[in-house]
Structure 1
């Protein structure tokens, strides 16, 4: 998504009119649903003035494209400025420009890390060349349109307030400045020359449009990529604070080898990449011949990772890399070079099956390693036995003479990169108040269901795509099927709903096991792992009364060991017991509701609570799977009736082009009986519709039979865009109908000093032979441009 886009000429006009910052601020509010702080608006006013001065160079074409604040795919990060056009070889090019207000920087001994002054003091941060390059690499990685259509991405950085560039261009950073040159205040002409090298001609082929509406490939899953990572392949590009944490950890590992014991605390919420950084550190430290292990209290991530590595590594090697948190009760002091503790909030005091070994897991890990790294989110402590807190880690580090460094992860990679969704979860569960009281304009799929059977059907439908959709629940039902495999555990009689907890046969591998979608998981089998879609059943341990969240641990199953000792504690200190279990219950549902990369579906056993979630979510609750039949065979998306759809929020109408009579119209769109649910990465808007494109005439962009998303009645210039058109006298070479999808070109001449359309050329875009242009005289009564192609959706 691009916040602001236009041509160079339009951008310069907006800057000269002193409206550019206002326009960007307005679009941030409209598109991102957030207000811009004063310092952010001031940075736009300042930086964009400097960019306009660079772009005044007449050799930079007026028709070059300008984009401001482009949202990186699948993250919450944005590119400051993009200039698009064609280079001397007429190759489509986008120059990514990272803009900085910095005046001074300090060199560090960490790769791609510098120090500079921010609002609250001097801090370490990414070198702007690395930041610009990593953003470009991320676009290249996720945006299939950029890759398939060979759009060249060229990063650079412009520090327009900096007078001296010797530090930012220090040879230590050559690896990054060579890929993304950095320009300072005196380099405005050099920057203009650099831009002219890559943007010699204007953006005549809608490069910005193609980048913004490009096909985004699915997010990677850490478990799936693990084997490749351990072979040294960079599967996950680390950006911003991830890179800073990674380099900080490697620097501390070096310090720890000299004799000074080190402890690193990494704070990060769900989806901030804690496990990705942890695994990258495991790989790099192993390559540096350090004795290092990955540690987790929860068995599920360890066992899933081990399962994924079978066949690529020896079992003994795998077992040595991944350990439980209770494995260090008898290790010698500083036996390991580094211990990397993921989900450190789950650490316990005692170890062993009966909790009778060791003294304290935090103490034993710090004692046993020269460098101990704790990845932690205190809001994911989910049992009364969890002792992992920042304070407890710092206390033990101080006692064991280990120097503490504390850093934060904030870049969001789960939940479609939506900070808004995570804030909504905290607000709706009343973990903490946030401004996100509804899901308005949040780009993440959330549905609240009246019927758990319907939610189960939707989860199964989603699971067919990649075996990455599961249902989970709060531990409010006894595990009867553990003893009797024919018995049902989770029973909701009023809906005739029955299900079993995850089978003992699957154990910690439930989340990736084949056919395990039929069972329901709990916090212990999914924490530390991720899915594409998660369906969450809230039990009676969390209900809402008159808008207030009320938790009651007594409504949890007696089999639930996470609140073991609660009743005894209740007798000794009722207030403390209720406070601790309230935190545990809310944290449990917070963790469950943030397992999905693409979407979260919700059902509550309590009617008032269900109504509360529906009001907060503002989304349809009567979704159901409908059998797909002709003429929509082959469409891997949910189709529902208009009564069941959430029009232009999650659903758009779907048409059979060849059956469409009399063209398309707003009224026809509104009366359409069949509506389709769009994938979660698409921001739905009025006028969108889905139709099938048949044939090979556009196979460079659109495969034969693909279902595509269009925008009705597109305004502005159509030149260079792919459009759906209807004309009485044409016959599409693939299906013979009067509708066709082609590249649109308008040929214009000057008559009496006015530019007039002469003819329209509809061009194929194909790797196949036998397709020719369709040329039509410009006759508005005959030719109807129905819609503009946005993307392939199935």
Structure 2
């Protein structure tokens, strides 16, 4: 493992860090002009994207300023530096983290939001400023709020941070800004008080802030523990609804979510003085549309503004109502959540605000026979002073869906409403993986993207050859929290609607038979206790989310010679989403096929993004199944090979995994010393992931392990990067031996922690009839400049000898 540039992955959890090193190694990389290339290469390799030139220039600029701030001698050389840390379950990345121990020796991570901004303007919106972004001046989060919200997200999601009391200290550094009156305006004092903001003249103040919180080095692998920490299950909006309605902040709004929320509140107060406003919010799956919508419903209602949550699809409304049952009067609950056809006869400006979720599902007309009114969009705008439309055009899944941005604009103009448009990008579904969503668009051939495979994508995607195996996997995932469901394209008739004993989706060759979601549960299928045995469709799951979703792809979507072929005729006759297709096919065949193709692709895109943690797929068509399976196979193989190559680079001995090892008979474990320090045990050695076969001349023993030694402090005996054989927890005298030791007073320049590999020498005195250590000296054996003896005289009983060096392999 190359500690000067420890580029680490997270296995099945994805690549969480782009760069990780000690303060001294970071400074050396910046001074050697290699830091930008290093980060750029890792972003390309791990995140599967190329860095734009302006992003590379911002790294170059910001990291030089950060290097200057870290030159303060009060910040220990062995403090940890992490760059571009991906917050779990999101697609948000923290610019810069400095880790170490505070004056009380508590583990601490300082989170630093870096900005290139030169000036800002104050707004009247909480935590929102104006600054030049791209080609124009736009509103965005105050950097103090952004830094604090990122720290709070990490604390909320990462159980290790909380349970091990790792202190998170947020701040922001605007190194190009010369004048700070606006950024430090009293209006933002609540946020700057929680996360101070430093500008160009504050460089020494920033150094003082960092040295105040990081007095000692990162001796306990703080960033490693954060990066590999236990992640708390993500919250489900429906489950948190009752608490939110009581005014509790269950979901922290970050970045664009905060901007949308504050903009909507501002517009709500503006229309109180007259006029009509329309806010269009665009956002893909999992960007927080429903979270922002519910938060607005709560806040506007609390401010005594008559507000309703509106959706075309009844499933999310009914689930929300069910979750609120017993907490409020039924009439009150019913008055909060309404269908999109409720405003046909509403008087103008009856409501202060109408919040339309899943607005892409709006119909032209209302009523059971869709013969009432003129336009649902127009009726909503007329009925309310402020109308808010949350739209994802890629989730229009029936021929009658008319909720496009252009249609809302057109209807707003007819009603004399002023239109504002914003976009949500922060991703909270599919493990926060933008890469999965982009790959899915590529795989479904909705659009061409750069994500042509699943390599490095942090999401559990699996393809099954047997639908019964898919069902077993979903049942297993569902046992934990009742948050896994099977769904399918509507390609099978709903026989069980008339005959409760009939099966709808049947694959006799696999012994698989299941029913569509029953009328008994209605639109509550997604949360009903026994519904995991049933199969949902687009109409009962759109607008909702699960932990895991199992998707059965029918013959309406098949692959032929690598190309997607869709066929609306393969849908069941009861499927209302393609109702009218045959008539349209006769009138405008080309338009009908194009429209149906879009509807079918959007349907599977929506179904395959319902899972927050994973999507399991079975396709009825063998060629289609193989098409998706190839993506899963390639991803698994490439990821494992790459990880193995990185982990064991330069180790030229036969290597096997734990499953294939013959422990201490034929193989010995490979272990990472930086992880082992402070917690080394026989059990951990036995749990090592990789094992190697030693050369024949080396005798086997159950206390042996292999590890890589990093740094130049022992280069007369151990070359930098050499793989070496060690004996764990050695007994007897250590005098004159090369050993791995740990002590809290050690600040090792190579490993940046409380352990080190050095030549052991001790001075003993006689006390009470026995010899005890009075002084221990840990000596480097090197030709390199700058390495010094480590002398220990206090608390020698706390010294742990972890391993004894035997030989270079």
Task: Assess if the C-alpha contact under 8 Å between 1:263 and 1:403 holds in 2.
Answer: yes
1:520 paired residue number: 535
Secondary structure of 1:103's match? coil
Of the three residues 217, 231, 242, the one matched with 1:227 is 242
Of the three residues 655, 665, 670, the one matched with 1:666 is 655
Aligned in 2, Cα 1:8/1:777: closer, same or farther, shift over 3 Å?
closer
Secondary structure of 2:220's match? coil
Q: Mapping of 1:137-286 within 5 angstroms? A: 137-286=152-301
Q: Mapping of 1:425-436 within 5 angstroms? A: 425-436=440-451
Of the three residues 426, 430, 454, the one matched with 1:411 is 426
Is there any run of 5+ residues in structure 2 with no aligned partner, and where? 1-15, 645-652, 664-668, 692-705, 712-725, 732-742, 745-753, 761-776, 783-787
Task: Assess if the C-alpha contact under 8 Å between 1:85 and 1:203 holds in 2.
Answer: yes
Of the three residues 86, 91, 112, the one matched with 1:71 is 86
1:11 paired residue number: 26
How far, CA to CA, are the matches of 1:225 and 1:441 in structure 2? 31
Shift of 1:729: 8.0
1:472 paired residue number: 487
Shift of 1:382: 0.6
2:395 paired residue number: 380
Shift of 1:572: 1.1
Q: Please list the CA deviations of residues 297-326 of structure 1 after superposition, one character each: whole Å capped at 9, or x if unmatched.
A: 111101111111112222111111111111
2:696 paired residue number: none
Aligned in 2, Cα 1:339/1:777: closer, same or farther, shift over 3 Å?
closer
1:681 paired residue number: none
Aligned in 2, Cα 1:90/1:776: closer, same or farther, shift over 3 Å?
closer
How far, CA to CA, are the matches of 1:149 and 1:711 in structure 2? 28
Task: Assess if the C-alpha contact under 8 Å between 1:332 and 1:368 holds in 2.
Answer: yes
1:628 paired residue number: none
2:119 paired residue number: 104
Task: Assess if the C-alpha contact under 8 Å between 1:448 and 1:620 holds in 2.
Answer: no
Within the alignment, does 1:313 sit opposite 2:328 as a pair?
yes
Secondary structure of 1:422's match? helix
How far, CA to CA, are the matches of 2:780 and 2:46 in structure 1? 42
Secondary structure of 2:181's match? coil
How far, CA to CA, are the matches of 2:687 and 2:419 in structure 1? 53
1:392 paired residue number: 407
Task: Assess if the C-alpha contact under 8 Å between 1:93 and 1:199 holds in 2.
Answer: yes
How far, CA to CA, are the matches of 1:610 and 1:326 in structure 2? 40
Secondary structure of 2:367's match? coil
1:682 paired residue number: none
How far, CA to CA, are the matches of 1:756 and 1:515 in structure 2? 67
Q: Mapping of 1:29-108 within 5 angstroms? A: 29-108=44-123
How far, CA to CA, are the matches of 2:435 and 2:116 in structure 1? 27
2:717 paired residue number: none
Aligned in 2, Cα 1:673/1:433: closer, same or farther, shift over 3 Å?
farther
How far, CA to CA, are the matches of 2:476 and 2:670 in structure 1? 27
Task: Assess if the C-alpha contact under 8 Å between 2:729 and 2:802 holds in 1.
Answer: no
Shift of 1:120: 2.2
Shift of 1:375: 0.2
Within the alignment, does 1:299 sit opposite 2:314 as a pair?
yes
Aligned in 2, Cα 1:16/1:776: closer, same or farther, shift over 3 Å?
closer
2:514 paired residue number: 499
How far, CA to CA, are the matches of 2:49 and 2:426 in structure 1? 17
Secondary structure of 2:194's match? coil
1:722 paired residue number: none
Task: Assess if the C-alpha contact under 8 Å between 2:99 and 2:214 holds in 1.
Answer: yes
Task: Assess if the C-alpha contact under 8 Å between 1:75 and 1:411 holds in 2.
Answer: yes
Secondary structure of 2:804's match? coil
- How large is the RMSD of aligned CA atoms in angstroms? 3.3
Secondary structure of 1:372's match? strand
Shift of 1:216: 1.0
Shift of 1:573: 1.0
Is there any run of 5+ residues in structure 1 with no aligned partner, and where? 622-644, 653-663, 675-685, 719-724, 731-741, 764-771, 785-794
Secondary structure of 1:350's match? coil
Q: Please list the CA deviations of residues 214-234 of structure 1 after superposition, one character each: whole Å capped at 9, or x if unmatched.
A: 111111111111111111111
How far, CA to CA, are the matches of 1:477 and 1:295 in structure 2? 30
Task: Assess if the C-alpha contact under 8 Å between 1:758 and 1:778 holds in 2.
Answer: no
How far, CA to CA, are the matches of 2:727 and 2:304 in structure 1? 66
Q: Please list the CA deviations of residues 630-650 of structure 1 after superposition, one character each: whole Å capped at 9, or x if unmatched.
A: xxxxxxxxxxxxxxx999489
Task: Assess if the C-alpha contact under 8 Å between 1:460 and 1:517 holds in 2.
Answer: yes
Shift of 1:777: 8.0
Within the alignment, does 1:541 sit opposite 2:556 as a pair?
yes
Secondary structure of 2:656's match? helix
1:790 paired residue number: none
Q: Please list the CA deviations of residues 115-151 of structure 1 after superposition, one character each: whole Å capped at 9, or x if unmatched.
A: 1112221111111111011001111111111111111
How far, CA to CA, are the matches of 1:84 and 1:578 in structure 2? 57
Shift of 1:61: 1.3
Aligned in 2, Cα 1:427/1:395: closer, same or farther, shift over 3 Å?
same
Task: Assess if the C-alpha contact under 8 Å between 2:656 and 2:690 holds in 1.
Answer: no
Of the three residues 312, 321, 346, the one matched with 1:331 is 346
Task: Assess if the C-alpha contact under 8 Å between 2:556 and 2:569 holds in 1.
Answer: yes
Q: Mapping of 1:688-767 within 5 angstroms? A: 715=708, 749-751=777-779
How far, CA to CA, are the matches of 1:758 and 1:778 in structure 2? 19
How far, CA to CA, are the matches of 1:441 and 1:777 in structure 2? 34
In terms of mean alpha carbon deviation, does 399-408 or 313-322 score higher? 313-322
Aligned in 2, Cα 1:454/1:484: closer, same or farther, shift over 3 Å?
same
1:532 paired residue number: 547
How far, CA to CA, are the matches of 2:486 and 2:166 in structure 1? 40
Shift of 1:349: 1.4
1:133 paired residue number: 148
Q: Mapping of 1:337-352 within 5 angstroms? A: 337-352=352-367
Secondary structure of 1:436's match? coil
How far, CA to CA, are the matches of 1:558 and 1:266 in structure 2? 34
Q: Please list the CA deviations of residues 740-771 of structure 1 after superposition, one character each: whole Å capped at 9, or x if unmatched.
A: xx999569524597779999xxx9xxxxxxxx
How far, CA to CA, are the matches of 1:270 and 1:22 in structure 2? 33
Task: Assess if the C-alpha contact under 8 Å between 2:658 and 2:687 holds in 1.
Answer: no
How far, CA to CA, are the matches of 2:453 and 2:185 in structure 1? 48
Shift of 1:28: 1.4
How far, CA to CA, are the matches of 2:642 and 2:311 in structure 1? 38
How far, CA to CA, are the matches of 2:671 and 2:506 in structure 1? 41
How far, CA to CA, are the matches of 1:379 and 1:586 in structure 2? 9
How far, CA to CA, are the matches of 2:502 and 2:304 in structure 1? 51
Within the alignment, does 1:566 sit opposite 2:581 as a pair?
yes
Secondary structure of 2:335's match? helix
How far, CA to CA, are the matches of 1:293 and 1:726 in structure 2? 69
Aligned in 2, Cα 1:178/1:668: closer, same or farther, shift over 3 Å?
closer
Shift of 1:619: 5.5
Aligned in 2, Cα 1:485/1:565: closer, same or farther, shift over 3 Å?
same
How far, CA to CA, are the matches of 2:539 and 2:791 in structure 1? 68
Shift of 1:668: 5.5
Shift of 1:616: 3.1
2:596 paired residue number: 581
Aligned in 2, Cα 1:665/1:306: closer, same or farther, shift over 3 Å?
farther
Aligned in 2, Cα 1:650/1:41: closer, same or farther, shift over 3 Å?
closer
Secondary structure of 2:439's match? helix
How far, CA to CA, are the matches of 2:641 and 2:333 in structure 1? 46
Secondary structure of 2:388's match? strand
Aligned in 2, Cα 1:688/1:464: closer, same or farther, shift over 3 Å?
farther
